[in-house]
Amino acid sequence: MYSFPGISEDRLAIRDMALKFALEKMAPHAIRWDQDKHFPVDVLREAASLGMGAIYVREENGGAGLSRLDAAMIFEALAMGCPSVAAYLSIHNMCGWMIDRFGGAELRARHLPALASMQKLASYCLTEPGAGSDAAALATRAVRDGDHYVINGQKQFISGAGNDDDFYVVMTRTGGAGPRGITAIVVEGGAPGLSFGANERKMGWNAQPTRAVMFENCRVPVANRIGEEGEGFAIAAAGLDGGRLSVAACSLGGAQAALDKAVAYMAERKAFGRRIQEFQALQFRMADMATELEAARGLLWRAAQALDDKTPDCIQLCAMAKRFVTDTGFEVANQAMQMLGGYGYLSEYGMEKIVRDLRAHQILEGTNDIMRLIVARHIFKDAPRV
């Protein structure tokens, strides 16, 4: 794989460890997981044993204590094995970070060790049937009843939902309309009043379950609240900045795997008496694809470093990176599939799976249209008015 000036040997060693795991433990099974709709919990827990269950949770709270740049490199490497599984792992990490960053000491002590080991599998519950991009309009409500909240409502498109060892970071409404009325609450698997819809049939991401999560008079201790009442939207926004980088990294890794498959195929396949890698038109197309991935990687790393440094433009850069990298990743994977001709369309080669998986990344963690809106707002917020 690539190197980069200024990237330490320790950081490269962590990346290489994740890549070795992806190629040995994930890539050989990715097609079967997709076809069987199998969620490889055992493999996720094996990844957690290497520190990948709580990558940027602080060490004193049981995490690896790594940076967002480290995480971007890790998720890119893991996605070279399976973008779907890597993307779920990124969601799990985001939930753990929210508790580490905003939760109280008791909440951290109670939950972070099990999240770090992935004995508990975390899901993030923000989207609702009537509130996707407009997350501030969510309607799931939590009403205080003594030392409990009683939650009613439904969340939609929840990755990882419905497993035995599950754990949900849920954005609920405890106050009035708008973002200031939203509160983040942990709902543990098995809570009374918690139920799930059927596993959704999807275009891609088949190696992780996606279900509706429903709350009917679901009683949850007030001690499960993350932060204070009314802070939920700010917690969600902070989590999504890093989540957007992680899903972008998964797009980058998936696209890089597709490009590598195309290179290997082109070295073997012959047409008109020549290996197809010798045709200049195809060489030029591959050169463009490799260049676009390298440009995407540079923007992703810059945004990750900005988030680590908490620079004033980090939110804008995270949105830019999410939009550009996921769009680029999908287009490169799609073009790489084209290089294999009819073989690229067959499931056994794994190319069409990558294309299907990466298409989701342009939608989740905020659609790419919403990313454009975020960037535009930053561009024009200080513009002079005439």
pTM surpassing 0.85? yes
Predicted local distance difference test score (pLDDT) of residue 10: 86
Q: Tell me the pLDDT tens digit for each residue of 22-57.
A: 999 999 999 999 999 999 999 999 999 999 999 999
CATH class of 233-380: mainly alpha
CA 278 – CA 92 distance, rounded (Å): 44
Query: Is 159 within 8 Å of 208 (Cβ atoms)?
Result: yes
CA 180 – CA 227 distance, rounded (Å): 13
Q: Where are the domains of the chain?
A: 9-120, 122-230, 233-380
Q: Tell me the pLDDT tens digit for each residue of 198-233.
A: 999 999 999 999 999 999 999 999 999 999 999 999
Given 76, 292, 352, 365, the catalytic residue: 365
Establish how many alpha carbons lie within 13 A of residue 42's alpha carbon, considering only the half-sphere containing its beta carbon: 4
DSSP 346: S
Architecture of the CATH domain 9-120: Orthogonal Bundle (1.10)
- Structural tokens at position 281: 């038109």
- Structural tokens at position 13: 């060693």
CA 154 – CA 164 distance, rounded (Å): 19
Helix H or strand E encompassing 275: strand 274-275
- Structural tokens at position 376: 């535009």
Q: Tell me the pLDDT tens digit for each residue of 359-385.
A: 999 999 999 999 999 999 999 987 776
Cα dist from 123 to 53, 88, 235, whole Å: 13, 9, 15
Q: Is the C-alpha dihedral spanning 288, 289, 292, 297 positive or negative?
A: negative
- Structural tokens at position 127: 């989207």
Cβ-based neighbours of 105, under 8 Å, separated by 6 or more: none
CATH class of 122-230: mainly beta
Q: Annotated catalytic, 365?
A: yes
| Cα distance from N-terminal residue to C-terminal residue, the chain | 51
